[in-house]
Structure 1
Amino acid sequence: MTRAMGDGALQIYSTCPQSKDVPAGEYGRAVADVARWSEAAGCTGMLVYTDNGIADPWLVAQQALAATERLAPLVAVQPVYMHPFTAASMVSSLAYLHGRSVHLNMLAGGFRNDLLALGDTTEHDDRYARTVEYTQVLLALLRGETVTHEGRWHQVRNLRLAPALPAELMPEVLISGSSPAGRAAAEAIGAVPIRYPEPLGQETAEAPAGGGVRVGIVAREDTAEAWKVAEERFPTDRKGQIAHSMAMRASDSHWHTQLSAAAQAQPATEDGEPDPFWLGPFQNYQTFCPYLVGSYDRVAAAIAHYAGQGTRVFVLDIPPSAEELDHIGEVFRRAGVAA
């Protein structure tokens, strides 16, 4: 698909493959392929994960930039991993080398055991407070300010960034907004709050206008075909279910709790088609977001529902092929939110 998914007001990000899932000799090509598919599909950018067990996201972002012409890597930034000056320098250096923008997905948490392995025992809400302070220093540097800051977590004096970042390449900033602390952090730093959508019609909180959702999509013209594809891609996995259960016990994440509490089986809709909201991949520890599965029109109605709530950013799961992005593009076109 060569037409853009978004209509200018909407931003759609794909997600980059993780190094743990691809052999070393094939990973660079896999990153480049998904980046090119995403650009051809009209995505704004591509989320690049970070955690203790995968390749460095900044180096992966460099691979994506080299393979594309306009796609913006959405780099996950964990404050525990690096000083805010270092993160700002990564953004400005990649802009200097490529003349391109790098967007930022600011993290407050992550896998609890990853944080403990790094000696970080900071509680949930304090992690968001730390991320706010971190991001404020980072963005001030990117704006070209000389920064002096005496904070709880960071102290800098007369700090200035070089090379300077051109104003037109300032990053879009996203942050998890599933918890009250996350939503407050998003407001404090001017970031787009990203949430994991609840089952349609069962929303328990008002969606923030201008916010975003993290959701996978499998859609076809025929409902049965869509579910066949989805269940073949994400088969029931007992080991995955055990891993999911263990991860839930170790997590203090609000979105983990919200998704785990969501209904596992949804009733049929008025048109007789199964509810598209599916937690199978999440419950089998195969991915970290709910899926929308069904016919183009049914899934498009769900996307239109989220857009009608004020959602302007959609972060999709890792696409298995360029053709799958074509199917997703058809959903957005039918939802009336595509060019």
Structure 2
Amino acid sequence: MQVFWFLPTFGDGPHIGSLEGARPATPAYLRQIAQAADDLGYHGVLVPCGKTCEEAYVVSAALADATRRLRFLVATKPSSMSPTFAARLASSLDRLSGGRFYLNVVVGGDAQELAGDGVFLDHDARYAQAAEFFQVWKGVLAGQKVDFSGEHVTVRGAEHLLPPAQRPYPRLFFGGSSPTGHAVAAEHFDTYLSWAEPLDAVREKISDVRARADRFGRTLSYGLRVHVIVRKTEAEAWDAANDIIKHVDRSAIDAAHRQFDRFDSEGQRRMTRLARSGNLVIAPNLWAGIGLVRGGAGTALVGTPQQVADRIEEYRDLGIESFVLSGYPHLEEAYRVAETLFPLLPVERPDEPEAVGPIVNFVSPFGELPARN
């Protein structure tokens, strides 16, 4: 399995819903986390996007030279830029990092934030736009000159002359819990990424995506995004879980859920329902307490290293190969998880990539002959 960590580009700390012990997302702190993940053997880090985050492409570019093996799973909203420009960003990051760039596609569920970016598409239209966007994106990175006319995306003569290090293009992760999201994932993307729910719910989603992909003659890989709280004893782990939310009160929960209720994301609806279920322990060692006030991934695996490893193996038995983990605070927990959990799991340690891009044989009218190795 490939294990990723999370880069908290919106800030960090030991508690959610509180400024006690809060740490800003300074370049030095983010570098600490990235270098720790690199040294500890994580496959990569998920770099989130949104108006509360430092820009994911910029952060990844800044940290690529500070790491050796770490991959950067860069979250991006395809509605916020052109596919050709996004392809240039992807190619440059991939080339200059030596092939250490992946993309996590986020169609977005908050209409207010999307409107601030000038995006007024409804739920299904955003998925349709993403499908058109990445048809152009993939063609451009594969070295094609692309003409495309769709409902949402139109380009003529789109191309990019510097191919990425990973051919034909970097790996594309995609999440979506609605039937529309499953359909788009099955046809256009490489890894389907789900937030952690009880096993039967995740099994049902994977089965649906796999059946849809079969109809296109495609095979996807699968990933899981979840927080982890690992301690020597189960009692210590649950104490640590409760400590994370000790400053969360009813007014904070109500305010957060009023925001979540305006989202049209089926995944967020599912996370919110779990947090409102009355019993936050929704399955063995699976806790929905994070989702009381945090949007997005709202569940955590809680227990001893062996208990958490056993639960991860159960998800792995469903066909999941990539696990995107996180914990509060992210620097200390990166060490704790790697030191206590990795020895119990078949973790694939990444090799140091070759820092080389293909030689390009052309003369640009705007510069000299590019000869890169």
Per the shorter chain, which TM-score range? 0.7 to 0.9
Q: Per the alignment, in what secondary structure is the counterpart of residue 218 of structure 1?
A: strand
Q: Return the alpha-carbon distance in structure 2 between the equivalents of residues 202 and 99 of structure 1.
A: 37
CA contact (8 A) 2:99 2:165 kept: no
Q: Per the alignment, in what secondary structure is the counterpart of residue 69 of structure 1?
A: coil
TM-score by length of 2: 0.79
Percent identity over the alignment is: 27
From 285, 297, 306, the counterpart of 2:294: 285
Q: What is the root-mean-square deviation in Å for CA atoms of aligned residues?
A: 2.6
1:12 and 2:3 aligned: yes
**Aligned pairs for 1:1-339 within 5 A:** 10-19=1-10, 27-168=26-167, 170-200=169-199, 205-208=204-207, 210-238=221-249, 239-262=251-274, 263-265=277-279, 275-285=284-294, 288-317=297-326, 320-329=329-338, 330-336=340-346
**1:199 positional shift:** 2.6
Q: Which amino acid aligns with 1:244?
A: A
Q: Return the alpha-carbon distance in structure 2 between the equivalents of residues 216 and 103 of structure 1.
A: 21
**1:43 positional shift:** 1.6
Q: Which amino acid aligns with 2:269?
A: T
**1:313 positional shift:** 1.4
Shift in alpha-carbon separation, 1:188–1:24, aligned structure 2, 3 A: same
Shift in alpha-carbon separation, 1:63–1:195, aligned structure 2, 3 A: same
CA contact (8 A) 2:101 2:170 kept: yes
* Cα displacement string for residues 294-319 of structure 1 (whole angstroms, at most 9, x for unaligned residues): 11122111101100010111111256
Partner of 1:5: none
TM-score by length of 1: 0.86
Q: Return the alpha-carbon distance in structure 1 between the equivalents of residues 24 and 122 of structure 2.
A: 39
Q: Which amino acid aligns with 2:320?
A: T
Shift in alpha-carbon separation, 1:136–1:235, aligned structure 2, 3 A: farther
Shift in alpha-carbon separation, 1:182–1:286, aligned structure 2, 3 A: closer
CA contact (8 A) 2:257 2:293 kept: no
Rg comparison, structure with higher value: 2
Spell out structure 1 runs of 4+ moving beyond 4 A.
20-26, 200-204, 266-269, 335-339
Of the structure 1 ranges 260-269 and 24-33, higher mean CA displacement relative to structure 2 is found in 260-269
Of the structure 1 ranges 195-204 and 121-130, higher mean CA displacement relative to structure 2 is found in 195-204
Q: Return the alpha-carbon distance in structure 1 between the equivalents of residues 305 and 100 of structure 2.
A: 32
Shift in alpha-carbon separation, 1:206–1:95, aligned structure 2, 3 A: closer
CA contact (8 A) 1:192 1:212 kept: yes
Q: Which runs of 5+ in 2 are unaligned?
A: 14-21, 211-220, 350-373
CA contact (8 A) 2:10 2:24 kept: no
Q: Per the alignment, in what secondary structure is the counterpart of residue 121 of structure 1?
A: coil
Of the structure 1 ranges 126-135 and 199-208, higher mean CA displacement relative to structure 2 is found in 199-208
Q: Return the alpha-carbon distance in structure 1 between the equivalents of residues 278 and 24 of structure 2.
A: 38
Partner of 2:366: none
Q: Per the alignment, in what secondary structure is the counterpart of residue 264 of structure 2?
A: coil
**1:99 positional shift:** 2.4
**1:16 positional shift:** 1.0
Q: Which amino acid aligns with 2:285?
A: P
Q: Which runs of 5+ in 1 are unaligned?
A: 1-9, 270-274
